[in-house]
């Protein structure tokens, strides 16, 4: 089969490799599509801690089951499935409490083992046993289903801060995750959704998310814009998707009393935050929450939102590439002219 193999940082080669064997307790999948995630891009460009080289990257996958391990029950040939890339152990303290997103011994597809930038993918033992794969509903296209994990991560982050009916929401960062957050907030009943980004290209692309307001300002100017449309109260929820050092400060300057702030990017979002900003957290009785990954039930919920049309996830797919053009796909995914890039090994 063909696969894009990451030999070392910034060295990704498409070549022929042996088709993986189906594990007795696992599944063999034919990859229908793989979306490039921010984690994939970081691994390809920089390698980094937690990436076992050589490896086939690709964490956001839609695939069809072509072989079922002899010890597996509940999955069948020809089922289309998707899954989250972080496979919890199912045994640790947090897994037993139903908190699998902070599993102490998880395995990451596309980092610890081969991922979806290949024609075939073997799911490790344990994924089927824990029912970590969800069937893609009939009628849901690959380009929509491939975003189930990203949307599931948004669900997890918004669950942490309770985004719901009647909330006003500001999303800082207009990349693909910011767009999905805005779409999800709308589906949950938020009544005013604003998106902020310093990049005009990003703001233009983010119109696909259907927010009510788009703001290019930062700092005091952003605060004034937000206060102007919220009767000077601020917004109920700020979701920080940008890793800009100023993003958290902007969040604290625009959130209302008793408001909630969700921090979902990887990076030093708190850099440069002064003691006075943290005093604001106390004086306004704010809630700050992180958001990392998603559980299998949130992946399932994401698929249902996509199936029902409540979240039109496919709108943020801006580019599609064949597997043999994966290098170009990575370059495009890094540019401000793209939201989500889809690689289709079978085309």
Q: Name the average pLDDT for the chain.
A: 93
**What does the block give as tokens for 82?**
């998707």
Which pLDDT belongs to residue 200?
92
Is it the case that residue 269 has pLDDT exceeding 90?
A: no
Over residues 251-272, mean pLDDT? 81
Output phi, psi for 261, to 5 deg.
-125, 125
C-beta atoms surrounding 92 within 10 Å: 16
Is it the case that residue 259 has pLDDT exceeding 60?
A: yes
Distance CA 204, CA 304 (A): 28
CATH number of 2-135+312-344: 3.90.180.10
Question: First CA to last CA across the chain, in angstroms?
Answer: 13
pLDDT classification of 279: cutoffs 50, 70, 90? confident
Give the whole-number percent of the chain exceeding pLDDT 90: 86
Output phi, psi for 240, to 5 deg.
-95, 110
CATH architecture of 152-290: 3-Layer(aba) Sandwich (3.40)
Over residues 58-84, mean pLDDT? 95
Residues of the chain with CATH 3.40.50.720: 152-290
Distance CA 191, CA 269 (A): 27
Pseudo-torsion of CA 334, 198, 155, 308, nearest 10°?
A: -80
Which pLDDT belongs to residue 278?
80
Residues of the chain with CATH 3.90.180.10: 2-135+312-344
Over residues 247-266, mean pLDDT? 91
Please, are residues 90 and 105 in contact by the beta-carbon 8 Å criterion?
no
C-beta atoms surrounding 73 within 10 Å: 10
Distance CA 316, CA 339 (A): 6
Which pLDDT belongs to residue 266?
63
Residues 6+ apart with CB under 8 A from 198: 216, 218, 244
* Higher pLDDT pick, 243 / 321: 321
Is it the case that residue 274 has pLDDT exceeding 80?
A: no
Distance CA 15, CA 23 (A): 23
Which pLDDT belongs to residue 17?
97
Q: Using DSSP, state whether 224 is helix, strand or coil.
A: helix
Over residues 235-259, mean pLDDT? 92
Please, are residues 209 and 232 in contact by the beta-carbon 8 Å criterion?
no
Q: DSSP letter at 87? A: E
- pLDDT, tens only, 188-227: 999 999 999 999 999 999 999 999 999 999 889 999 999 9
**What does the block give as tokens for 65?**
């089951």
Q: Using DSSP, state whether 12 is helix, strand or coil.
A: strand
Place of tokens 């935050």: 273
Burial of 230 (0-12, 13-18, 19+ CB in 10 A): middle
Give the up-direction half-sphere exposure of residue 337: CA atoms within 13 A in the CB hemisphere.
Answer: 5
pLDDT classification of 144: cutoffs 50, 70, 90? very high
Distance CA 166, CA 150 (A): 24
Please, are residues 171 and 114 in contact by the beta-carbon 8 Å criterion?
no
Is it the case that residue 264 has pLDDT exceeding 90?
A: no
- pLDDT, tens only, 88-139: 999 999 999 999 999 999 999 999 999 999 999 999 888 988 889 999 999 9
**What does the block give as tokens for 259?**
């408001």
Is it the case that residue 59 has pLDDT exceeding 90?
A: yes
Task: Report the Cα 259 to chain-centroid distance in Å.
Answer: 24
For the chain, helix, strand, coil in percent to 5 are: 30, 25, 40
pTM for this one?
Answer: 0.95
Q: DSSP letter at 56? A: -
Distance CA 240, CA 266 (A): 11
Is it the case that residue 267 has pLDDT exceeding 70?
A: no
Which pLDDT belongs to residue 270?
53
Which pLDDT belongs to residue 140?
96
Apex 21 CA angle, 297 and 27, nearest 5: 20
pLDDT classification of 275: cutoffs 50, 70, 90? low
């Amino acid at each position: 089969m063909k696969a894009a193999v990451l030999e070392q940082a910034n060295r990704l080669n498409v070549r022929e490799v042996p088709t993986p064997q189906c594990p007795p307790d696992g599944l063999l999948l034919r990859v229908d599509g793989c979306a490039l995630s921010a984690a994939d891009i970081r691994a390809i460009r920089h390698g980094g801690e937690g990436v076992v080289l050589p490896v086939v990257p690709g964490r956001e996958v839609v695939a069809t089951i072509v072989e079922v391990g002899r010890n597996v029950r509940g999955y069948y040939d020809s089922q289309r499935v998707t899954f989250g890339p972080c496979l919890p152990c199912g045994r640790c303290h947090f897994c037993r409490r139903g908190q699998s997103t902070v599993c102490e011994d998880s395995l990451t597809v596309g980092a610890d083992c081969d991922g979806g930038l290949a024609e075939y993918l073997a799911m490790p033992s344990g994924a089927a046993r824990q029912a970590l794969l969800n069937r893609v509903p009939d009628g849901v296209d690959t380009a929509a289903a491939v975003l189930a994990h990203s949307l599931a991560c948004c669900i997890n982050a918004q669950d942490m801060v309770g985004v719901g009916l009647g909330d006003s929401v500001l999303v800082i960062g207009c990349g693909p995750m910011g767009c999905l957050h805005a779409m999800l907030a709308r589906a949950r009943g938020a009544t005013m959704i604003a998106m902020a980004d310093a990049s005009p290209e990003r703001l233009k692309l983010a119109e696909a998310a259907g927010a009510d307001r788009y703001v290019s300002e930062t700092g005091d100017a952003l605060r004034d814009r937000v206060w102007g449309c919220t009767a000077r109260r601020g917004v109920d929820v700020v979701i920080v998707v940008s890793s800009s050092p100023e993003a958290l400060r902007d969040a604290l300057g625009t959130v209302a009393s008793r408001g909630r702030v969700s921090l979902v990017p990887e990076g030093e979002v708190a850099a440069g935050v002064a003691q006075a900003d943290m005093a604001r957290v106390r004086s306004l009785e704010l809630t700050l929450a992180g958001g990392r990954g998603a559980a299998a039930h949130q992946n399932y919920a994401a698929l249902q939102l996509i199936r029902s049309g409540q979240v039109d996830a496919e709108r943020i797919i801006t580019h599609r590439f064949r597997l043999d053009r994966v290098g170009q796909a990575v370059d495009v995914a890094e540019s401000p002219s793209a939201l989500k890039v889809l690689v289709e090994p079978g085309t």
